[in-house]
């Protein structure tokens, strides 16, 4: 976990693949993964919300995007049957799952349950 504490989190969503997925989960203690596809209208509705949350929680949360059409291994492993699906991972383990396009406050409430509060939050 020492590596995770020293690695700064980006202030915008990052793209993950079947090959990089586990590296990202090992590198960062709190990762919100967006399972999406280019053809998915609701996925495009959620994307701007995730951009805002990635910036707002820089240093505390990484938002990662995984295209389900291009990355079938991770998609199957996590039994993604509907998109968008968001899974919040803490220390590599799934702890929250949000299925469907949800408003910002719903997504943010799930995240806040797992972020250590500081005066800036």
Give the residue from 61, 70, 62 showing the smallest Cα distance to 19: 70
40 an active-site residue? yes
121 an active-site residue? no
CATH classification at residue 31: 3.40.30.10
- Asked if residue 119 is part of any domain, the answer here is no
The residue annotated as part of the active site, out of 40, 49, 64, 101, is 40
- Asked if residue 87 is part of any domain, the answer here is yes
Q: If pLDDT is split at 50, 70 and 90, which confidence band does 9 have?
A: confident
Q: If pLDDT is split at 50, 70 and 90, which confidence band does 11 have?
A: confident
Residues with Cβ within 8 Å of 49's Cβ and at least 6 positions away in sequence, in order, are: 103, 104, 107
pLDDT per position as a tens digit, 21-55: 999 999 999 999 999 999 999 999 999 999 999 99
What CA–CA distance (Å, rounded) separates 33 from 63? 6
The residue annotated as part of the active site, out of 30, 32, 33, 43, is 43
Instruction: Give the count of domains, the chain.
Output: 1
């Amino acid at each position: 976990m020492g590596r995770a504490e020293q690695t700064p989190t980006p202030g915008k969503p990052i793209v993950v693949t079947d090959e990089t997925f586990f590296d990202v989960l090992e590198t960062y203690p709190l990762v919100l993964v967006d399972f999406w596809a280019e053809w998915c209208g609701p996925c495009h509705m959620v994307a701007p919300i995730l951009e805002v949350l990635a910036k707002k929680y820089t240093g505390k949360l990484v938002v990662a995007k995984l295209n389900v059409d291009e990355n079938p291994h991770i998609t199957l492993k996590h039994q993604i049957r509907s998109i968008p699906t968001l899974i919040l991972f803490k220390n590599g383990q799934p702890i929250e799952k949000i299925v469907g396009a949800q408003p910002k406050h719903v997504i943010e409430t799930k995240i806040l349950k797992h972020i250590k509060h500081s005066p800036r939050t």
